[in-house]
Amino acid sequence: MSNKPNAIRDDILRLLKNNGHRTFRPKEIAKRLGYRDNKLYRRFRTVLQEMENEGAIAPVSRGQYGLPKIPTKVQGILRVNPKGFGFLEVEGREEDLYVNSGNMGTALDGDVVLAGLSAPGRGDRRREAEVLEVVERKRKRTVGTFRQMGHFAFVTSDDARMTQNIYVPESAFNGARDGMKVVVSIDRFVDPKSAPEGRILEVIGDAEDPAVQVLALAMSFDVRSGFPKEATEEAEKIPLEVPAEEIKRRLDLRKMPVFTIDPEDAKDFDDAVHIRKLDDELLEVGVHIADVSHYVAPGSAIDAEAYERATSVYLVDRTIPMLPEKLSNGVCSLRPNEDKLAFSVLMKVTTQGVVKGYEIRETVIRSQHRLTYDDAQTMLDGGNSDHPIAADVVLAGRLARTLTKRRMRRGSVDFDLPEIRVLLDDKGHPTDIIRKDRKPANRLIEELMLLANRVVARHASKRHKPKTFVYRVHDRPDAEKITKLAEYVRAFGYRLDLTAGNVTSSDLNALLEQVEGAPEQPVIEQAALRSMAKAVYSTKNIGHYGLAFDFYSHFTSPIRRYPDLMVHRLLKRYAAGGEGVDQTQYDVFCDHCSEKERAAVEAERESVKLKQVEFVRERLGESFDGVVSGVTKFGLFVEMSDILVEGMIHVRDMDNDYYEYDDRTYRLIGQRTGRQYRLGDPVRVTVVGANTESREVDLLFAE
């Protein structure tokens, strides 16, 4: 008999396992195990309590203990693979449950289901489950192509995870014609041997129309297109002019040299800045944000629609705004030479980037200059020096560089990923793909917005604690993902240092510096970004790992982000002495906004990818230089360097040898020739296929 905790634990588990379903009181367990000494008994009770806390044993009636019951049914979220099978995500389980196509019943991707667990087989790597019941139908509509079959039709979903076609009776066509993109409801699905049934909710347009294809893709991510009539009517009633009584109530900054810097085609100007020297060491920096909260009241039709959207969506060929155009491009937009209501953060900042004081005030401003990023960059490079605002832009650029250096010294991770811009003709067809470089003019605005967001978050946390607030948070990377990243970059010949299974931001930056300028730079940067946690909105402030900020929020874009609008409202409420809001309710708001943001990012990315594939489709047979970006047992992923489009060379088409996959070194190795393909290898490839529906590109080696 041992008195060590692990031995006591083993003794307890052995006793319970050897006695089937029997339960015992603690003293009876101790007696059976021979724990009669007082000191040993106290240690036994401590171990018993720890085992209960961990769930290793279960308390039952009358203070007795037994082994916890193993569940035979679980509830979770079904995730369907386009090939037909699926996985069940169950909260609390590390590994998902496998569901084959014949065991899905009438469940669809994303549904909450009750499933029965199969008995584990000897040597099974993954436990299987069978759907017993759909608890909540999450998938209630989908976007797809309408195919008429006489007096009925089927809609084939654009979402590959929706593996069933939806049956539509003639009475529910709603004007749809063969070949059109439509939104179809999923009203009834009771027999897995039959198709789900639905109605045409909306006709998007001709499936061959490039503009319709982009919109249909976005709507498949639940992006809303047109505004409800009630919201549009509310917006039209809002006057463009600022009422005189509102100007009197606010801090009047209309004489300040305020300016905006935005993309050339921007219309929704939601931020403006001013900067001036107070003395040799101190600057006044004003960040002025469109005061959307003045115009959009909680509970209004505009507010309800803005919340549902939660964000503007920037597709390859258009912007789908969060607010009606009357507000986003008109009333709220900080257009030059117009009086506008703003919510301003007025900061006193040293030339070393230290904030010495600040005010957060409702203001009225008048932007005096509207600059594009190219205009501002020209001034930063020393050109157009006689422009009235040139000196201010140069001063702001100098401060921005200082702020960037301070942030990097604190451990901020700097992902300088290339942005892709697809140029389109008048009909929406791609004519070119260019890389958008992030210039100092872009960083100027980014740094001033980061500064304002940080000041606002710290203010709320310090001045209004413990009242509920909305933070932008970013957790530390998952240790398992970071370990995989370290293995991944090792295959390229790089090293990522880990400490206790995790990574410091300085080590990540060191990796990014190593790969700068290398052919594999975009590949490794993307892999590093995927290994990071996702930034989300939360009422619980855990800081922002990626930016190395203890306090951070989103305040600077209420025209296009609903969380910023919530932040404005909370700041005003608390400044007026208002009570705190319900944290539980705001947790729901934050989760919703985070989810909609993820969908918007995916829609934006896929819309660009659609046009990339369309661009490549017109170049079948052409060859491009590229780099191996991924190696699997099915083949090689190659990113074509000039056009930043990724495609795949399938193993089945590599017929010069028989290749085996080495999962330790991420290589394909030819068994006859010994030829190897690994991550980062430069290759030249020829485009042999491009499918816009699946957004996949097929390649062959050019040689």
Residue pLDDT, tens place only, 341-381: 999 999 999 999 999 999 999 999 999 999 999 999 999 99
Distance CA 290, CA 565 (A): 10
> What is the number of residues in the chain?
703
Residues 492, 496: Cα–Cα separation, whole Å: 11
β partners of residue 131: 115
> Which one, of 386, 448, 450, 456, lies nearest residue 412 by Cα?
450
Write the burial class of residue 178 (CB in 10 Å: 0-12 exposed, 13-18 middle, 19+ buried).
Answer: exposed
* Dist CA 464 CA 574 (whole Å): 7
The closest alpha carbon to 158, from 221, 236, 239, belongs to 221
> In terms of C-beta density within 10 A (0-12 exposed, 13-18 middle, 19 or more buried), how is residue 282 classed?
middle
Name beta bridge partners: 696.
691
Question: How far apart are the C-alpha atoms of 411 and 407, rounded to whole Å?
Answer: 7
Q: Is the dihedral of CA 363, 366, 369, 370 positive or negative?
A: positive
What 3-state class would DSSP assign to 175? coil
- Long-range contact set of residues 660-667: C-beta below 8 Å, sequence gap at least 24: 661/631, 661/632, 661/633, 663/633, 665/491, 666/488, 666/491, 666/631, 667/491, 667/631
What 3-state DSSP class applies to 623?
strand
Tokens representing 106 are: 């009438």
| CATH class held by domain 619-701 | mainly beta
| Eight-class DSSP state of 128 | B
168-211 tens-digit pLDDT = 999 999 999 999 999 999 999 999 999 999 999 999 999 999 99
Query: Positive or negative CA dihedral for 297, 300, 302, 305?
Result: positive
Torsion of the alpha carbons at 301, 302, 308 and 312, rounded to the nearest 10: 160
Please check whether residue 629 is in contact with residue 639, taking contact to mean a CB–CB distance below 8 angstroms: yes
Tokens of 506: 């300085």
The answer to whether 44 and 30 have CB atoms below 8 angstroms apart is: yes
Question: φ, ψ for residue 337 (rounded to 5)?
Answer: 60, 30
pTM of this prediction exceeds 0.85: no
Residues lower than pLDDT 70 in the chain: 1-3, 70-71, 119-125, 416, 418, 500-501
Supply 509's token pair: 């930056």
Grouping H, G, I as helix, E, B as strand and the rest as coil, residue 411 is coil
Choices 3.90.25.10, 3.40.50.300, 3.75.10.10, 2.40.50.140: CATH for 73-136? 2.40.50.140
Can you name the residues that pair with 391 across neighbouring β-strands?
Answer: none
Residue with tokens 């008109």: 330
Measured CA distances, 552 to 280, 452, 453, 478, 592 (Å)? 29, 9, 6, 21, 19
Residue spans per domain, the chain: 5-66, 73-136, 141-208, 229-474+539-604, 479-532, 619-701
For residue 48, what pLDDT is reported?
87
Whole-number Å distance between alpha carbons of 5 and 39: 13
Asked if domains 73-136 and 619-701 share a fold, the reply is yes
Query: Tokens in use for 426?
Result: 């008048």
3-state secondary structure at position 137: coil
Number of helices followed by number of strands (H, E) in the chain: 17, 33
Residue 54 is given by DSSP the state H
> For residue 261, how many other CB atoms are within 10 A of its CB?
27
Using DSSP's 3-state secondary structure scheme, residue 73 falls into strand
HSE, side-chain direction, 13 A CA sphere, residue 367: 25
Instruction: List all residues 6 or more positions away from 74 whose beta carbon is below 8 Å from its beta carbon.
Output: 88, 90, 93, 97, 114, 115, 117, 129
Architecture in CATH of 141-208: Beta Barrel (2.40)
In 301-449, DSSP assigns E strands to 313-314, 319-320, 339-350, 355-366, 369-372, 419-424, 430-436
